[in-house]
């Protein structure tokens, strides 16, 4: 019985000690995004076979600010093609436990791999593409719905140490004055 208690205690300690073991210790914006995704994937109640979008909200001298929330649809436009850059179309992804996390980087190009993953999770909606190319009229297009009750996670990540961050879960848009203070010191 004593051996079982020791093994359980060892297991609990080893799990809690690994919180930051999968986080990038150094890097830029993409590594900070991946750290937010790693935390979100471990600590949130996520639905399997679901896609989540990471959006950059703002950036200061000290912090990156990202939001992670469900991504019901991606709406490509005619310029969103393999090899092109885009301001809104995802160019990066990370798949963890049958959940897709996507984000855009205006300096990266759209790849066949990202498009295949977006289709795999069935989140590409060609409505806007068809309207812009004349295949569908605005009057015939479906009504786009949003769900403002869904909670999102805001991540405030220190630029100098991307393992330091604060997270806020909310279903409302946070104003800059509501951003938390993050101790980015050494």
pLDDT number for residue 66 = 95
Residues 97-127 pLDDT 10s:
999 999 999 999 999 999 999 999 999 888 8
Assessment of whether the complete model's pTM goes beyond 0.75: yes
pLDDT digits (tens, 9 = 90+) for 54-100: 999 888 889 999 999 987 788 888 899 999 999 999 999 999 999 99
The whole-angstrom separation of Cα 156 and Cα 158 is 7
The residue written with tokens 């093609």 in the block is 81
* C-beta of residue 94 within 8 angstroms of C-beta of residue 35: no
Please check whether residue 1 lies inside any domain of the structure: no
Predicted confidence (pLDDT) at residue 13 exceeds the cutoff of 50: no
Bigger pLDDT: 54 vs 177: 54
pLDDT-above-90 percentage for the chain: 48
Tell me, yes or no, whether 113 lies in a domain: yes
Average pLDDT over residues 40-55: 86
| 55 falls within a domain | yes
pLDDT tier at 147 (50, 70, 90 boundaries)? low
Is the residue at 7 inside a domain? Answer: no
Please report whether residue 14 resides in a domain: no
**Enclosing domain of residue 68:** 23-178
Q: Is the pLDDT of residue 141 over 80?
A: no
Question: For residue 5, what pLDDT band results from cuts at 50, 70 and 90?
Answer: very low
- Spell out a b/e string for 91-101, using b for 16 or more CB atoms within 10 Å of the CB, else e: bbbbeeeebbb
Label residue 105 exposed, middle or buried (CB < 10 Å: 0-12, 13-18, 19+).
Answer: middle
Q: Could you tell me how far CA 46 lies from the centroid of its own chain?
A: 12
- 167 Cβ contact partners less than 8 Å away, ≥ 6 residues apart: 36, 39, 153, 154, 155, 156
Question: Is residue 18 domain-resident?
Answer: no
In a domain, 78, yes or no: yes
Q: How many CA atoms lie within 13 A of 52 on its CB side?
A: 30
pLDDT at position 139, please? 76
pLDDT, position 186: 62
Instruction: Considering only the C-alpha atoms of the chain, give the largest distance between any 2 of them, rounded to a whole number of Å.
Output: 73
Helix (H) or strand (E) holding 59: strand 50-59
Residue 184 placed within a domain = no
| pLDDT value of residue 21 | 54
Q: How many domains does the chain have?
A: 1
């Amino acid at each position: 019985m004593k051996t079982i208690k020791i093994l359980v205690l060892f297991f609990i300690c080893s799990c809690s000690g690994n919180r930051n073991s999968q986080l990038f210790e150094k890097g830029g914006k993409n590594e900070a995004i991946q750290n937010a995704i790693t935390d979100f994937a471990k600590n949130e109640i996520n639905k399997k076979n679901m896609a989540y979008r990471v959006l950059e909200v703002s950036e200061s001298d000290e912090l990156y600010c990202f939001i992670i929330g469900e991504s019901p649809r991606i709406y490509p436009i005619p310029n969103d093609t393999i090899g092109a850059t885009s301001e809104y179309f995802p160019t990066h992804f990370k798949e963890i436990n049958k959940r897709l996390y996507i984000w855009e980087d205006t300096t990266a190009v759209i790849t066949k791999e990202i498009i295949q993953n977006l289709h795999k999770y069935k989140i590409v909606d060609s409505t806007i593409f068809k309207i812009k190319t004349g295949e569908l009229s605005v009057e015939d297009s479906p009504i786009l719905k949003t769900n403002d009750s869904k909670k999102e996670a805001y991540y405030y990540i220190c630029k100098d140490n991307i393992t330091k961050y604060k997270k806020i879960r909310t279903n409302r848009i946070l104003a800059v004055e509501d951003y938390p203070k993050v101790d980015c010191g050494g």
